[in-house]
Amino acid sequence: MLLMKGSYFYDMDPYAIYRERREKTPVYWDEEHRLWAVYPYHHCQQVLSHPVTLIPPVADGELGGQALAVKKRLVRISNPPEHDLARQMALRMFRGRRHVDVGPLLARLLPPPGTPATVEWVSMVGAVLPAMHILAGYGFSDEDVELVLGQLSTVLRIMRPVENAEAARALEAAVDRVYPVADRQVATCFPGLTRETQEYAVSNLIGLLIQSHDATKGLLSLALLHLLCREKADLLASQDIGFFLSFVTEVLRYDSPVHNTRRVLTEDMTIGGVVVPAGSTVLVVVAAGNRDPQQFVRPEEFDRHRANNMTMLSFGHGMHGCIAGAYCTELTAQAMCYLFHTYKTVSLVEPEPEYEPLVNVRMVKAMHLQLI
């Protein structure tokens, strides 16, 4: 079995399955799903960085209007030649943000310290903080931030197949509300863009909100879970940002929010001695690569001092590597630092949180915290 759904995926320990595949069938043909899967680190890296591999097309269905135009410009799901301008503008947008302290944003989302309170971390912080922080970096007003956050859950679907006319209309309506607000702010922050580069900049600002939401939402929960399970909470108040950065980076390697991604081959490709034919879909299991003993010494051990944990594949590799990877890591570390420096008590209400029924990402569905 290659793909499993729901809690069964986690109950069976995906890492044990990955280890078995990596050792016995590192390049695996899954007949049921008609795709190849690769598990060793260097096989994953090879596929992600090779020029003959492309992002698979995402079905547009009946999507039209501004939503379809935005989707076509997104760096995350575009391929050359369109990808070149998309990445250029995405990087320009990302590097043009101003610094924003995460503390005041978290203070708005969480109850004040000193009084016992129970909060649901995933919905109150994980699903909101990344977008709030990015929008603040471009000077969006509180009113515009509220508008964008209100549409975000729908806009997120732009990178997924559009299944029916109802879904298409809902996505079009959400993008039509968000796009003018983003367009106005991009024009203010980046004056002098051509109409084409402005359109790519706005589209990839929306894309940045989507990518940062997906990656950082999962990381904010997994990092906190590992901190509470592996460290003494009362001692974390004395740790500096360097500790939290190294800890979060090892979480990314050891228990990545992203477990796999897909590529399509435009030419035959030899992977681990196996010739994978052109036109094949390849499932790149980056979470398996992140625990490959050929790349990481004692990979089953959690070690924030690991010398090469920055080489993990959780944010991809090659031309489609996530441009927000370092940002997600830093934002999560800053959030952890704020949390344990602000509250005297941070504890889990449930010992084992429930995960979302997804196979490509490892997302905590809900995580209740007791804060004082």
pLDDT at 278: 98
Statement: 7-371 belongs to CATH 3.30.70.100: no
- The percent helix, strand, coil of the chain (3-state, each to 5) is 55, 10, 35
DSSP state of 361: B
Give ∠ CA 227-230-234 in degrees, rounded to 5: 65
pLDDT at position 361? 86
| Tens digit of each residue's pLDDT (9 = 90 or more) over 84-117 | 999 999 999 889 999 999 999 999 999 999 999 9
In a 13 Å sphere around the CA of 232, the CA atoms on its Cβ side amount to: 3
Q: Domain residues of the chain, as ranges?
A: 7-371
pLDDT average, residue stretch 238-265: 96
Q: Share the mean pLDDT of the chain.
A: 93
Average pLDDT estimate for 211-233: 91
Look at residue 62 and tell me whether its pLDDT is greater than 90: yes
Read off the pLDDT of residues 317-343 as tens digits, 9 standing for 90 and up.
998 998 889 999 999 999 999 999 999
Contacts with 51 (C-beta within 8 Å, 6 or more apart), sequence order: none
Question: Are the beta carbons of 154 and 179 closer than 8 angstroms?
Answer: no
Q: Which helix (H) or strand (E) holds 257?
A: none
Are the CB atoms for 307 and 246 separated by under 8 Å? no
Report H helices in 138-293: 142-155, 165-189, 195-230, 241-254, 286-289
- The answer to whether 65 and 309 are in contact (CB under 8 A) is no
Token pair for residue 120?
């649901």
pLDDT in tens, 279-315: 999 999 999 999 999 999 999 999 999 999 999 999 9
pTM: 0.94
pLDDT(251) > 60:
yes
